[in-house]
Amino acid sequence: GAGVSQSPSNKVTEKGKDVELRCDPISGHTALYWYRQSLGQGLEFLIYFQGNSAPDKSGLPSDRFSAERTGGSVSTLTIQRTQQEDSAVYLCASSLGRVGYTFGSGTRLTVV
């Protein structure tokens, strides 16, 4: 597609359940990033994939969070045993370089 696509756009889950968020980057973009924006906060870096290199996981807040990128394209962010503080908008972006960083519309996650 022409842009970065994220699904679902909204997700409501019960505390303790696992969730998977999906990101389809722009075709040909080698870098993929996950960020989250909690209510009233800025964009918090979570994880970054670049080609075949080992991902930069330095922003993941706990070991309940993990992400993978299959075939250098689609990425899935998984949150296990969700907690209420995980409620946020999760944003995915892709780029070819430091210019052209394009965001998706995000997945709004609500943990009840």
Partner 1 sequence: DQQVKQNSPSLSVQEGRISILNCDYTNSMFDYFLWYKKYPAEGPTFLISISSIKDKNEDGRFTVFLNKSAKHLSLHIVPSQPGDSAVYFCAASARIRSSNTGKLIFGQGTTLQVKP
Question: Contact residues for partner 1 (CB under 8 A)?
Answer: 4, 30-31, 33, 35, 41-45, 48, 50, 56, 59, 91, 93, 95-106
Residue closer to partner 1 by CB (options 13, 105) is 105
Question: Beta strand pairing status for 107-111 and 10-13?
Answer: parallel
Closest approach of partner 1 to the CB of residue 32, in Å: 10
Q: How far apart are CA 44 and CA 73, in angstroms?
A: 22
Nearer to partner 1, 43 or 74 (CB): 43
Residue 52: Cβ within 10 Å count: 7
Residue 84 in 3-state DSSP?
Answer: helix
The residue among 67 and 93 lying less far from partner 1, judged by its C-beta, is 93
